[in-house]
């Protein structure tokens, strides 16, 4: 249903709303200051808004002062070099930022628009000026510039944060990630950097356990980091961590000190080796040499030969210990140079077995039916790995036991297996026997000595030749294997 408008309705809609103010009031109380000046700038008239802005009475301005007189020195220079010439050429200027000095001496930022009126003869007759109080606008512009500078500073800081070596994590009061830099992503072994909003304890396994141990201080306070272990993908990383309260939560600084920690452990283990493993052969060498020096002439030939043999044997043991330590240092430092060539694996095995006959703990070695496979790698280092495996088998085999060696193919690899009749390897030790300095019997209750480096060196040497070492059987005796890539 449509309703038609009557003529009366239309006339009421078009009728202007009466305003209860005059043109004079519009001029006097306008939102901006109005001035009219002579061509020389003398103020001829100004409204109440401008008087309030300037703090003067009309009698102090009209016919007495020029607009130019209200400007500070810097604005006067700009007035003369820019404002006045532009007004003369263009007949108007717009949005000129100046300052005026109030009657009380305060400076007020203003925006000035001016229009030059010419007379009938074309000469300047009148200048009309509007003056807008720009105090709030200037404050807003300063805040805007400050906000922009802060944003640029934060952006620069965020960019720099991504390139520092220490991990930095900002979490809010609920433990959710706000910022996570690349170093922290690498430290936590995360596959995705875009984890903002996620719970740190959820995406980093083990964080919940170490977070309560990390000291958190207020901004400006001295903080001492604490070294804590962090489990990452089956590995343990040692992290020097500290925290600082921030307006948005807590900023954690994390530094990976795993290498330093392992170096400290290495030093401790070296001290232990020197204390235990080197002392016995050194004592044997020293005792035998001292006996020969003081009583050698009184000893029988057999006794002298026995002492000399002891010196040779224990000196060889010392040499092997030092060689293992130096080899470990070269492996860990990346200084080990490897050759790559094709060689017969069975020939290398037979050479190592032949040399083992003179070992102090030598056991019979039987070579099972084998295939002379050709491998690719460093034959010298491969034989060193075999020496370590064979020596390990002989140490743990009983006097009546034997060592069994087999050479053959395993898929695309040349494989050597070494089996002994020893006690085997307990289940809880099977994953650790290849760790550096790990010994099944550190107290040497069973009488088996060693540095705990032999199997570690064997594993690392094989790994660097693209091979591997492992344990096949560990119940009745132990069966180790070493694989190298077979030559095509």
For residue 413, give the nearest of 468, 361, 341, 456 by alpha carbon.
468
The reported pLDDT for the residue numbered 449 is: 59
Q: Which residue has the tokens 């075999």?
A: 386
Residues 364 and 397 reside in one and the same domain: yes
Kindly indicate the confidence band of residue 148, based on its pLDDT and cuts at 50, 70 and 90.
confident
Helix (H) or strand (E) holding 95: strand 92-101
pLDDT at 433: 84
Q: Same domain for 96 and 209?
A: no
Do both 301 and 367 map to the same domain?
A: no
* CATH assignment at residue 228: 3.30.450.20
- Give the residue among 448, 453, 338, 442 at the shortest CA–CA distance from 388: 453
Of 256, 289, 319, the residue that ends a domain is 256
| 28 and 106 both lie in a single domain | yes
Task: Please report whether residue 8 resides in a domain.
Answer: no
pLDDT over 50 (residue 359): yes
CA atoms of 410 and 199, how far apart (whole Å): 46
Query: CATH no. for residue 299?
Result: 1.10.287.130
Backbone angles phi, psi at 208, to 5 degrees: -60, -30
User: What does the pLDDT average to over 382-387?
Assistant: 90
What mean pLDDT is predicted for residues 167-178?
A: 87
Domain hosting residue 273, numbered range:
261-331
pLDDT at residue number 37: 94
pTM assigned to the model: 0.48
For residue 97, being part of any structural domain is answered with yes
Residue 9 lies in a domain: no
Residue 386 lies in a domain: yes
**So what's the pLDDT on residue 10?**
52
Same-domain check for residues 125 and 56: yes
Name beta bridge partners: 374.
344
Q: What domain count does the chain have?
A: 4
Q: What percent of the chain shows pLDDT beyond 90?
A: 28
Question: Which pLDDT tens digit goes with each residue over 417-430?
Answer: 999 988 888 888 88
Q: What is the pLDDT of residues 193-236, one digit of tens each?
A: 678 788 888 888 778 888 888 889 888 788 788 888 887 766 67
Q: Both 398 and 459 in a single domain?
A: yes
432-478 per-position pLDDT tens digit: 888 877 766 554 545 455 677 888 888 988 999 999 998 887 778 89
Does the structure show a pLDDT above 50 at 1?
no
Q: Are 485 and 410 in contact (CB under 8 A)?
A: no
Q: Are residues 346 and 471 in the same domain?
A: yes
């Amino acid at each position: 249903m449509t309703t038609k408008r009557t003529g009366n309705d239309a006339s009421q809609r078009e009728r202007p709303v009466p305003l209860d103010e005059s043109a004079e009031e519009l001029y006097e109380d306008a939102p901006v200051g109005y001035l009219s000046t002579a061509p020389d700038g003398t103020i001829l008239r100004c409204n109440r808004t401008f008087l309030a802005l300037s703090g003067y009475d009309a009698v102090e301005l009209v016919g007495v002062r020029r607009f130019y007189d209200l400007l500070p020195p810097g604005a006067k220079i700009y007035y003369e070099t820019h404002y006045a010439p532009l007004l003369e050429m263009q007949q108007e200027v717009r949005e000129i930022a100046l300052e005026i000095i109030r009657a009380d001496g305060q400076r007020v930022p203003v925006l000035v628009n001016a229009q030059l009126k010419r007379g009938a003869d074309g000469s300047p007759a009148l200048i009309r000026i509007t003056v807008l109080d720009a105090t709030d606008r200037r404050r807003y512009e300063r805040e805007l510039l400050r906000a922009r500078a802060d944003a640029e500073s934060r952006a620069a800081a965020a960019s720099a944060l991504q390139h520092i070596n220490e991990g930095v994590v900002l979490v809010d009061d609920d433990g959710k990630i706000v910022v996570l830099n690349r170093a922290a992503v690498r430290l936590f072994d995360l596959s995705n950097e875009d984890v903002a909003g996620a719970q740190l304890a959820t995406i980093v396994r083990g964080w919940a356990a170490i977070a309560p141990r990390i000291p958190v201080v207020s901004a400006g306070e001295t903080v001492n980091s604490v070294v804590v272990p962090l489990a990452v993908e089956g590995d343990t990383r040692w992290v020097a961590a500290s925290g600082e309260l921030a307006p948005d939560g807590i900023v954690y600084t994390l530094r990976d000190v795993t290498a330093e920690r392992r170096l400290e452990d290495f030093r401790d283990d070296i001290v232990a080796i020197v204390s235990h493993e080197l002392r016995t052969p050194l004592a044997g060498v020293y005792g035998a040499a001292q006996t020969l020096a003081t009583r050698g002439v009184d000893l029988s030939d057999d006794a002298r030969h026995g002492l000399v043999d002891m010196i040779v044997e224990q000196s060889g043991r010392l040499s092997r210990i030092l060689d293992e330590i130096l080899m470990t240092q070269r492996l860990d430092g990346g200084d080990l140079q490897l050759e790559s060539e094709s060689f017969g694996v069975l020939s290398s095995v037979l050479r190592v077995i032949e040399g083992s006959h003179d070992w102090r703990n030598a056991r019979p070695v039987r070579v099972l039916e084998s295939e002379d496979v050709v491998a690719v790698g460093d034959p010298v280092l491969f034989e060193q790995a075999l020496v370590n495996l064979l020596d390990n088998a002989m140490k743990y085999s009983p006097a009546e036991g034997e060592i069994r060696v087999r050479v053959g193919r395993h898929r695309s690899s040349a494989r050597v297996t070494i089996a002994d009749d020893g006690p085997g390897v307990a289940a809880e030790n099977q994953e650790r026997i290849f760790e550096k300095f790990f010994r099944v019997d550190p107290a040497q209750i069973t009488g088996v000595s060693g540095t705990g480096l032999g199997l570690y060196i064997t594993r690392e040497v094989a790994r660097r030749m693209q091979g591997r070492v492992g344990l096949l059987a560990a119940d009745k005796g132990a069966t180790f294997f070493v694989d190298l890539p077979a030559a095509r």
